Structure 1
Amino acid sequence: MSSIYSATVTAPVNIATLKYWGKRDTVLNLPTNSSISVTLSQDDLCTTTTASAGPDFTKDHLWLNGVDQEIEGSKRLEACFRELRKLRRALEDEKRAQGDETVVPLSAFKLHIVSENNFPTAAGLASSAAGFAAFVSAIAKLFELPQSATDLSILARQGSGSACRSLFGGFVAWNMGSEADGSDSSAECIAPREHWPEIRAAILVASADKKDTSSTNGMQITVKESSLFKERVDNVVPKRFEEMKKAILAKDFESFAELTMRDSNQFHAVCLDSYPPIFYMNDTSHAAVRVVEEINKQAGHLIAAYTFDAGPNCVIYYLEENEQQVLGPLKSVLGKLTGWNKKEKISPFVPTGFETRFLEKLSQGIERVILTSIGEGPQDSSAQLIDNNGEPLR
């Protein structure tokens, strides 16, 4: 077999504090509102992707967690392949025009892509965001593209809307843009991880099952059916977008927490206002909300903020200085689950007067705990997921 060219990248999960929900263009994944997210540490949640190209490959292949994925007919994947090859072809043409006849025609080669998540896929943990961010970043690295992270975010967005935010670390804004071709609908970093490194996140995994209603279908139903939706995108989100950026830059956790919880509540209210209603949260999710409220009540101010994406899993943001107050009650009922190895110093503790019935409900529905922190954007990796024949190593 001829030479195989490859590159590997890891990409993070991001969890929105100001939700993206609804599309003004379903083909280009153009949103009806801007959004803001926190990028989480890849030490705990990431997608690793190896992209390879070779003259002997006969067709494009994508393997996700060991399963061969269908590419033909997938408009999102085909769009990413097409646009990335177009950029590589332009680069090759430029180099040849400068007299470089040794440039490898990677744009003409078929691609083999192997991608692996270290967390459940399609369960409301932003797997598609990390997946498409890693997919685009790995091919861009393989193709030696000069485009910026913002430029690549436009491509990643076409695969999965929220993937554009996983092209950056820290606190990230996805500006909805106004151009019909999506050229100004891209992500940018509001503040890097180093700006507010004390932010922590506890993810309570209520279910690792695949969602009943996909995010794509849910958005289409909501845009069409919810009478609350227009008020959200026209008035509520634009105001919150500016308030959330201000809170992040000022490191004002209480404002950040309130905005995060209010937006999560409204996002799910809009889903419930659809017809038929869309249920992403379940009884365990509702118990998690009450537990966070009780934690804040005991503290006398906001030290924890819940948020739920399109799934039942609860993400709780808090500051490192309040870790014992936030995690103590959770560990009292969830301490036997995996995920506490990094927090052995946290004591299981329920304050006097704490409403324990919600903790008991939580203990019946949570199956995994992930404790993590704020993280960086895509990173180059020395890992190799493809063998010398262009096949998955495992």
Structure 2
Amino acid sequence: MAEEKWVLMVTAQTPTNIAVIKYWGKRDEVRILPINDSISVTLDPDHLCTLTTVAVSPSFDRDRMWLNGKEISLSGSRYQNCLREIRCRADDVEDKVKGIKIAKKDWEKLHLHIASYNNFPTAAGLASSAAGFACLVFALAKLMNVHEDPSQLSAIARQGSGSACRSLFGGFVKWNMGSKEDGSDSVAVQVADEKHWDDLVIIIAVVSSREKETSSTSGMRESVETSLLLQHRAKEVVPKRVLQMEEAIKNRDFTSFAKLTCSDSNQFHAVCMDTSPPIFYMNDTSHRIISLVEKWNRFVGTPEIAYTFDAGPNAVLIARSRKVAVELLQGLLYCFPPKPD
């Protein structure tokens, strides 16, 4: 390794993803192993994404991280698990232009500086942690010359945030819950790439950018412990829905896709209400948006719009075409006029 005080950097951009068949509940809190499969759609990285720069230098005396300009602690197990898993897979790195050589064994001694930025609200139910940990793992893998494929990297990102495993692919992505105790088969796989169904347009209606009162982590734990509906959902409902959703995506069958997406979102929030104490992620505006979409689809006689809400009040609306998306946006601005600044 060269003696001079050099810095080597890599920047990565990773989109967020929105589940259309929800992940809610873990069978292993430490390894972050889910109680059911899930399917998501990855959003356009030019619109909602995390941008992360990772840097290594012999002049750094400890690992440090900044999120949206504010330094945060890396002491938590989720960050430490991701850093450990990537470091143990690191390989030799050489930058001939800068004259830098890093031997595989040197990575254990070198420290990192990480700067991450979300261009959308953090901890507001828009999967910021999914994009964040996926981007962190991907950037570190590039910096350290890790040779794992995206599915193998997804098993590492999963240890930071479960849904992060799905953000390492574009298009439609399935997170297999797996069955092995070590979680080695709990990985993400691409169902269809981003060009497969490019008629779809996704609109995010940001109802509130405030941080949610109940984090996804604690909410899941409480649901697993107290909700009988969650157990029924995981064992009886989701396995069938996953197969139906894969078929709908494969055939670009929007009618089936919309019905499954809306039903699964509603059941997820029913599970939250079935939890003790009940968890309320949506608000009155969220409910008004659902009512608007349901009335719209009934009026035209066929589903043109699907809605889904993650652990927050913000609506993800999926239109079957650009024409429908334009009309929907006009309807939303009429029914929910933006407040003047």
TM superposition score category, shorter chain reference: over 0.9
In the alignment, residue 166 of structure 1 is paired with which amino acid? S
* Contact 1:17 1:37 survives alignment (8 Å): yes
Q: State the TM-score, normalizing by the size of structure 2.
A: 0.93
* Contact 1:295 1:326 survives alignment (8 Å): no
SS of 1:194's partner is coil
CA distance in structure 2 between the partners assigned to 1:307 and 1:53 by the alignment: 40
CA distance in structure 2 between the partners assigned to 1:323 and 1:317 by the alignment: 8
Matches within 5 A, 1:1-16: 2-16=5-19
* Contact 2:203 2:325 survives alignment (8 Å): no
In the alignment, residue 241 of structure 1 is paired with which amino acid? V
* Contact 1:53 1:106 survives alignment (8 Å): no
What's the counterpart of residue 275 of structure 1? 276
What's the counterpart of residue 327 of structure 1? 329
Matches within 5 A, 1:289-300: 289-300=290-301
SS of 2:185's partner is coil
What's the counterpart of residue 72 of structure 2? 69
Residues 337 and 87 (structure 1), Cα distance of their counterparts in 2 relative to 1, 3 Å cut: farther
Matches within 5 A, 1:309-388: 309-320=310-321, 321-334=323-336, 336=338
CA distance in structure 2 between the partners assigned to 1:123 and 1:306 by the alignment: 17
Unaligned stretches of 5+ in structure 2?
A: 95-99
Deviation at 1:202, TM superposition (A): 1.0
Deviation at 1:199, TM superposition (A): 1.1
Residues 102 and 112 (structure 1), Cα distance of their counterparts in 2 relative to 1, 3 Å cut: closer
Please give the per-residue CA displacement for 1:67-122, whole angstroms capped at 9, x wherever unaligned. 111112x000000111110001xx349x9xxxxx9544334211110000111111
Residues 256 and 185 (structure 1), Cα distance of their counterparts in 2 relative to 1, 3 Å cut: same
What's the counterpart of residue 153 of structure 1? 154
CA distance in structure 2 between the partners assigned to 1:102 and 1:209 by the alignment: 45
CA distance in structure 2 between the partners assigned to 1:222 and 1:280 by the alignment: 13
Matches within 5 A, 1:26-41: 26-41=29-44
Matches within 5 A, 1:111-190: 111-190=112-191
Q: Does 1:83 align with 2:85?
A: yes
Alpha-carbon RMSD across the aligned residues, in angstroms, is 1.8
Residues 86 and 323 (structure 1), Cα distance of their counterparts in 2 relative to 1, 3 Å cut: same
SS of 1:309's partner is coil
SS of 1:316's partner is strand
What's the counterpart of residue 223 of structure 2? 222
Matches within 5 A, 1:187-266: 187-266=188-267
Deviation at 1:324, TM superposition (A): 3.7
Please give the per-residue CA displacement for 1:340-384, whole angstroms capped at 9, x wherever unaligned. xxxxxxxxxxxxxxxxxxxxxxxxxxx9xxxxxxxxxxxxxxxxx
CA distance in structure 1 between the partners assigned to 2:68 and 2:83 by the alignment: 20
Deviation at 1:237, TM superposition (A): 0.2
What's the counterpart of residue 97 of structure 2? none
Please give the per-residue CA displacement for 1:307-341, whole angstroms capped at 9, x wherever unaligned. 00000001111122422443331132346579xxx
CA distance in structure 2 between the partners assigned to 1:293 and 1:337 by the alignment: 25
Residues 4 and 25 (structure 1), Cα distance of their counterparts in 2 relative to 1, 3 Å cut: same
**Aligned pair partner of 2:45 in 36, 42, 49:** 42
Unaligned stretches of 5+ in structure 1?
A: 96-100, 339-366, 368-394
CA distance in structure 1 between the partners assigned to 2:152 and 2:311 by the alignment: 27
* Contact 1:153 1:164 survives alignment (8 Å): yes
SS of 1:38's partner is strand
* Contact 1:295 1:325 survives alignment (8 Å): no
CA distance in structure 1 between the partners assigned to 2:264 and 2:308 by the alignment: 8
Please give the per-residue CA displacement for 1:188-245, whole angstroms capped at 9, x wherever unaligned. 1000011001111111111111110000000000000011111100010000000000
CA distance in structure 2 between the partners assigned to 1:5 and 1:62 by the alignment: 16
SS of 2:159's partner is helix
CA distance in structure 2 between the partners assigned to 1:278 and 1:286 by the alignment: 15
Deviation at 1:296, TM superposition (A): 0.7
What's the counterpart of residue 382 of structure 1? none
What's the counterpart of residue 345 of structure 1? none
SS of 1:203's partner is strand
* Contact 1:18 1:260 survives alignment (8 Å): yes
SS of 1:159's partner is coil
Deviation at 1:303, TM superposition (A): 0.4
Residues 336 and 283 (structure 1), Cα distance of their counterparts in 2 relative to 1, 3 Å cut: closer
CA distance in structure 2 between the partners assigned to 1:227 and 1:162 by the alignment: 23
CA distance in structure 1 between the partners assigned to 2:304 and 2:23 by the alignment: 25
Deviation at 1:42, TM superposition (A): 1.3
